[in-house]
């Protein structure tokens, strides 16, 4: 009887620092991770202590636990066998000045940027293989030294958006849809994303409002859909200016960088020309209550962000810095109250919005059409298409077929 020699190949041991890095970059505290992983008390030791023991190397991590970590930390299993934690994900320039209490959310921002970058890389690789794909001439074509007016004019000329048509839309959502369509027609992918797939990972607008990933073939703009819908158009234009400057980075509510002010000035001038500011009816002598009401009425009639209107008034020296601060606080409070009321109304309704309708809205028609064309032409498998769209492979076909049907009905 012959004896065969069996060679067993073992994976290298998982280093404790990798476990800590994976948890922290997933935006989870020890307490959060214990809940997600289902770690229970044992041998008189608290659940958090058990996880700490694993992360310090005192206890070995089991294979089942590693699989749970891979799923809940949103990391491929092989990631846990790296020799050292990788460098922090490149989010480009960070134009924000965040309050200290938001430091825990930074891991979620990194994860979101990392995810969109990976999807962008796949899109670019396919476009590079297409003979007709040409670099977009406006990416990086401008400089802040050019001044606000020339950059504004260049963007208007490229988009071809009529401001009267924008304001004639029935709602802020439809006005944004019109603007988004113009931006996507120019060759830019516009996504709505305010979390990593669940409400547990929702990112407040004080953490980020949007970001731009500059690329001459596949530029991406991501807008935080947790924000007020009347603010989406302003954020889209703000990030569009970043692309004109060839700048990649994350923007937020707390930003005083020169480039952020420049992008704000161009975006706000696009939506609200200077010659209309007097129509608001607010000046330095208007009390805050009256100013709040007048700005609200003016902005609502034109599908504008109330804070953006106040920002323009401040820039024109029609209100003081102190009034600007009070008005911004008022508008944020009003928005929070409105959002709470809308959420309560949604909870009171039976059922909820269709998954595929919501997903298509967040992805945008440009990315959906690109993926549909790539799948049809054999450039993308359903699995890779799912990665580009951020869905499971089984969801690709109904997502794309529904998008085609909606496009046909619109036509």
CA 323 vs CA 231, 310, 317: distances in Å: 20, 9, 11
Degrees, nearest 5: CA angle 220-225-231: 95
Q: Taking Cα atoms as reference points, which of 146, 140, 167 lies closest to residue 273?
A: 167
Q: pTM, whole model, 2 decimals?
A: 0.78
Distance CA 302, CA 129 (A): 43
The answer to whether 65 and 95 have CB atoms below 8 angstroms apart is no
The predicted structure's pLDDT at residue 208 = 87
The predicted structure's pLDDT at residue 303 = 96
Distance CA 155, CA 157 (A): 5
Degrees, nearest 5: CA angle 338-340-343: 110
Cβ partners under 8 Å of residue 293, min gap 6: none
Q: Taking Cα atoms as reference points, which of 294, 316, 315, 322 lies closest to residue 306?
A: 294
The predicted structure's pLDDT at residue 411 = 42
The predicted structure's pLDDT at residue 187 = 97
The predicted structure's pLDDT at residue 95 = 62
Q: 355-382, pLDDT tens digit by residue?
A: 899 999 999 999 999 999 999 999 999 9
Distance CA 319, CA 313 (A): 6
Which segments of the chain have a pLDDT < 70? 1-12, 42-46, 86-104, 132, 198-200, 253-256, 346, 348-352, 402-411
Q: Which residue has the tokens 């924008």?
A: 166
What are the structural domain ranges in the chain? 16-86, 92-271, 282-352, 355-410
Degrees, nearest 5: CA angle 301-298-221: 70
Other beta carbons within 10 Å of 37: 20
CA 122 vs CA 116, 139, 155, 168: distances in Å: 10, 19, 27, 37
Distance CA 218, CA 127 (A): 8
CATH number of this structure's domain 16-86, picked from the four choices 1.25.40, 2.60.120, 2.60.40, 1.10.260:
1.10.260
């Amino acid at each position: 009887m012959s004896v065969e020699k069996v060679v067993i190949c073992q994976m290298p041991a998982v280093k404790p620092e990798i476990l800590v890095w994976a948890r922290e970059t997933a935006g989870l505290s020890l307490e959060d991770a214990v809940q997600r992983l289902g770690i229970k008390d044992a041998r008189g030791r608290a659940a958090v202590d058990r996880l700490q023991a694993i992360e310090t190397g005192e206890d070995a991590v089991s294979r089942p636990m590693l699989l749970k970590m891979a799923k809940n930390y949103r990391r491929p299993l092989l990631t846990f066998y790296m020799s050292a934690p990788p460098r922090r994900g490149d989010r480009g320039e960070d134009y924000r000045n965040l309050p200290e209490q938001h430091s825990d959310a930074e891991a979620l921002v990194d994860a979101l940027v990392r995810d969109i970058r990976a999807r962008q890389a796949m899109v670019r690789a396919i476009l590079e293989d297409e003979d007709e794909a040409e670099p977009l001439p406006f990416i990086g074509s401008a400089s802040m030294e050019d001044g606000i007016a020339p950059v504004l004019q260049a963007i208007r000329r490229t988009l071809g958006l009529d401001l009267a048509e924008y304001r004639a839309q029935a709602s802020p959502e439809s006005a944004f849809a019109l603007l988004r369509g113009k931006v996507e027609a120019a060759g830019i992918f516009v996504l709505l994303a305010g979390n990593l797939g669940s409400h547990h990972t929702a990112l407040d607008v004080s953490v980020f409002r949007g970001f731009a990933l500059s690329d001459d073939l596949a530029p991406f703009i991501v807008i935080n859909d947790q924000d007020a819908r009347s603010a989406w158009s302003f954020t889209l234009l703000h990030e569009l200016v970043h692309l004109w400057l060839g700048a990649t980075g994350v923007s937020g509510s707390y930003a005083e960088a020169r480039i952020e002010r420049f992008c704000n000035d161009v975006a706000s001038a696009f939506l609200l020309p200077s010659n209309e500011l007097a129509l608001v009816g607010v000046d330095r002598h208007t009390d805050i209550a009256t100013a709040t009401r007048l700005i609200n009425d003016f902005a609502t009639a034109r599908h504008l962000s109330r804070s953006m209107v106040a920002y323009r008034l401040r820039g024109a020296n029609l209100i003081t810095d102190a009034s600007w601060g009070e008005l911004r606080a008022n508008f944020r409070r009003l928005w929070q109250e409105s959002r709470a009321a809308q959420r309560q109304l949604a909870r009171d309704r039976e059922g909820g919005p269709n998954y595929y309708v919501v997903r298509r809205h967040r992805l945008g028609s440009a990315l959906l059409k690109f993926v549909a064309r790539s799948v049809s032409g054999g450039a993308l498998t359903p699995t890779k298409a799912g990665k580009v769209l951020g869905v499971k492979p089984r969801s690709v076909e109904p997502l794309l077929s529904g998008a085609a049907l909606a496009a046909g009905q619109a036509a």
